[in-house]
Amino acid sequence: MNKPLNLLQINASLYSGKGQSSLLSERFVNSFRASHGDVRVVTRDVAGDPVPHLDARRFGAFLAAPEARTPEQQAVVDYSDTLIDELRAADVIVLGLPLYNFGVPSQLKAYFDHVARAGVTFRYTADGPVGLITGKKVYVLAARGGLLAGTPLDTQTSYVRDFLRFIGIEDVEFVYAEGLAISADLKARAIEQANDSIARLAA
């Protein structure tokens, strides 16, 4: 009997399940489940259920020695551990990624800040940092109002790739749906092309 696949779906749209990036990620998850049979899905909506932004108090909890943590600090670490455990358990990660003001949503940045922990998801060595979250495949469904892919204004792609590589995830595939705010025709074509890519990648 084959072991079930674990899929972590992360959505970051302020429009929750109605955002274009969330709709694309949901379509990918449904197609993936249809093609792969027994798939266990955990959904993390970092906009609908926001990850707190990292501040000095929360960062101090990560730095405190385990035996010296206050109950409040331990709660912060436990929350971070929950997010990290979801990542560790996942075989496949699907990220619905909207573009806000030329960058990733601040809620997603907060999520990244809570899963990037020295000695837990990466470690520093004399040869540079080594990621500790390995063996994952990531599909990023990126929705944009304009046309940015391949231009200097697309800061998202390199940032997300670099962050995932930093914690050990090398296998990352992007699907773009762009020009969604330019015209109805361009939006329809972009979504159709994204859906074609989803059908191919999720098979």
Annotated binding residues for FMN:
13
- Binding-site residues: 13
Cβ(93)–Cβ(10) below 8 Å: yes
CA 25 to CA 17: how far, in whole Å?
9
CA 60 to CA 64: how far, in whole Å?
6
Task: Give the residue carrying structure tokens 């469904």.
Answer: 141
Task: Give the residue carrying structure tokens 């949901």.
Answer: 26
Amino acid letter for position 201: L
